[in-house]
Chain A
Amino acid sequence: MSALNIAATTSTPAVVWRPETGSLEISGESYPENALEFYEPILAAVAEYLRRPETALHLEFNVRYLNTSSVKAVMDLLDLAEEAHQRGAGVAVVWLHDADDDRALEVAEEFCEDLTLPFTIKALPAGEVK
């Protein structure tokens, strides 16, 4: 399985996927016109990784804004993680947001509402936000 290292652009996030440790980091902004196209290789890589037994998956998000099609793609990703969690895999999600942005906090809270996997929301003081 190959690693992913996607550089950020104005409207798409930086993505770092390390299959040796099952660690995915998505950071920056997410409002591509076609989010499905952007997230497809990431979803495919994580789905392939999760086919192995006893896998640990760690997702970390630090995204300032997601357009609705990105929300859909991220929800698909979180659904994969939730499924793995329910099968007994060691899954954890960490969601970082700007402490001063109450909308960003709401977005995070909505994502974890219907999930049972460990989901931690961390507020970052303004200086530390990417």
Chain B
Amino acid sequence: MNPTPDLLQLRNSLNEQGILLCFNGPLSRSIIEEMGVAVRGYLESEAMAKGQVADIFSVYIEQVQNIRQYAARRATDPADLQRLNAAIVTIRRRDEQYTVSAGNLVEHRDVPELEERLRLLERLDPAELKQLYKETLKKPRSGGGAGLGLINMARTSRRPLAFSFQPLDQRFVFFALSAEL
């Protein structure tokens, strides 16, 4: 029996959706760095404006680091940490628009606060987002995390952050977040 996974199907699916780069697996510091180098390298080879490369890179880093922080906060043991660090990250191009997306596991109990925060960000205009960013910057450091990073992503994106929550099982919901640049 052929040990190859259905690569043609996977390739077609990725191509149809304009996905240029995709990572699926547990995030670690080194994977984040290595993927980051690959992302930048790829975007630079596309002769993209440096500011736009910076935006895409920034949104990518904030998304994956938020997942790492969340995983560290909620994991109950090393195996659980591995499960929580598991993410799917894509960078997609449609026409000239790039979309950086990430999906990870979030516990049911964390959904209301996360959703509320995202809905708040949705309603703010660029000036208000900047104001919120500055206020949050001044606050003393809290354990939290998805504060500044999320606000910065909202500021960097051209449109409000797109998100969805899909229940998976008793403990987890699949949270997907996208930033269009």
Contacts and interface: CB of A to CB of B under 8 A. Distances in A.
Given A33-B65, A100-B50, A103-B50, A65 B33 contact: no
A75 B137 contact: yes
Contacts of B57: 65
Interface in B24-78: 29, 32-33, 36-37, 49-51, 54-55, 57-58, 61-62, 65, 68-69
A82 interface: no
Interface residues of B, number: 23
Contacts of A64: 54
Interface in A24-70: 31, 33, 36, 64-65, 67-69
Interface in B94-129: none
Contacts of B65: 31, 33, 67, 69
Interface of A: 10-11, 31, 33, 36, 64-65, 67-69, 71-72, 75, 98, 100-104, 114
30 contacts: A10-B36, A11-B29, A33-B68, A65-B54, A65-B57, A65-B58, A65-B61, A67-B58, A67-B61, A67-B62, A68-B148, A68-B149, A68-B152, A69-B65, A71-B137, A71-B148, A72-B137, A72-B148, A75-B137, A100-B50, A101-B51, A101-B54, A102-B49, A102-B50, A102-B51, A103-B54, A103-B55, A103-B58, A104-B50, A114-B134
